[in-house]
Amino acid sequence: MISSPEPSLFIIATPIGNLGDITFRAVEILKSVDLILAEDTRTSGILLKHYGISKRLQSFHNFNEHKIVHHLIDRLKQGERMALISDAGTPGISDPGFLIARACIQAGLKIECPPGATAFVPALIKSGLPSDRFVFEGFLPVKKGKQTLLKHLAQEERTMIFYESPYRLVKTLHQFKQYFGDDRQASVSRELTKVFEETFNGTLAEIIAYFETGDVKGEIVIVVVGKKSKE
């Protein structure tokens, strides 16, 4: 399908912590569009105010995207230009974005996605684990299907990347230890780009011992080396 010549939807990465990490181009685009779709308008409002951006905001999140996406596509077809942002990082990476991107493609509307912040990239690099081949798993299932997935991932030879809540971090690390082995090398990064940024590298057993000593806060990225190849 041939897309429209000019972008209708811009998918814009926003800082994962430090407000200075947004690109000049992203700010220019956000100032130029007719409407900004935001996961949480209150959170995004802080960023937009910081950069003097006063465009209209509309909520677009996991709970309403199925209901409003077709209406938004109709408006895009009529010539409106929109930008999609999430609370932090790149939309579509464990955040809303896939649905409207697919709908735009089906409607022949052009999408543009300038590069920007994504939490798993700095976490992977800071882990010191192999980064030539990796698999991004995002958030694991909370209940159904988690054990089946972990059994499958126990055989994965590529470096694995996960997002996790600070409240579930220690429990998840124990499950990794159960399926991957306590001597599997891993890394946990939290509060990336923020004042209290921290990365702890070691075996799963060492990381568990470290994070069991106190309360864990902040956004979490876990990186785990893959199973050693038989070769």
**Span 75-95, average pLDDT:** 95
Helices (H), 51-168: 65-77, 98-106, 120-127, 146-153
Residue 78 above 70 pLDDT? yes
Question: If we measure between CA atoms, which residue out of 136, 137, 117, 129 comes closest to residue 193?
Answer: 117
User: Which amino acid is it at 102?
Assistant: R
Residue 181 above 70 pLDDT? yes
Query: pLDDT tens digits, residue range 101-112?
Result: 999 999 999 999
Q: Which of 112, 137, 157 is the last residue of a domain?
A: 112
Q: Which of 112, 131, 161 is the last residue of a domain?
A: 112
> What percentage of the chain exceeds 90 in pLDDT?
90
Same domain? 106 vs 134: no
**Span 220-226, average pLDDT:** 98
**Span 34-52, average pLDDT:** 96
pLDDT band at 62 (very low <50, low <70, confident <90, very high): confident
State the average pLDDT for the chain: 94
Residue 2 above 60 pLDDT? no
DSSP state letter for 229: P
Could you give the 3-state DSSP secondary structure of residue 58?
strand
Query: For position 32, what pLDDT does the model report?
Result: 96
CATH number at residue 38: 3.40.1010.10
Give Cα 39 distance to the centre of its chain: 13
Q: Are strands 159-164 and 110-112 parallel, antiparallel or unpaired?
A: unpaired
Whether 217 is covered by a domain: the verdict is yes
124 neighbors 134 (Cβ within 8 angstroms)? yes
Same domain? 90 vs 124: no
Q: Which of 87, 112, 137 is the last residue of a domain?
A: 112
Edge-to-edge strand order for the sheet containing 185-190? 134-139, 159-164, 220-224, 185-190, 198-203
**Span 183-200, average pLDDT:** 96
Task: Read off the tokens for 124.
Answer: 């992977």
Whether 2 is covered by a domain: the verdict is no
Query: For position 197, what pLDDT does the model report?
Result: 96
List, in sequence order, every residue forming a beta bridge with 10; answer none if it has no partner.
83, 112
CATH number at residue 192: 3.30.950.10
Task: Please report the sign of the dihedral spanned by the C-alpha atoms of residue 19, residue 20, residue 21, residue 23.
Answer: positive
Query: For position 4, what pLDDT does the model report?
Result: 58
The secondary structure element, H or E, covering residue 77 is helix 65-77
Residue 1 above 70 pLDDT? no
Residue 144 above 90 pLDDT? no
Same domain? 176 vs 135: yes
**Span 33-48, average pLDDT:** 95
pLDDT band at 158 (very low <50, low <70, confident <90, very high): very high
Same domain? 100 vs 128: no
Better-scored residue on pLDDT, 71 or 5: 71
| Domain of 198, in residue numbers | 120-224
Same domain? 95 vs 154: no
Most confident of 65-69, 204-208, 215-219: 204-208
Residue 5 above 90 pLDDT? no
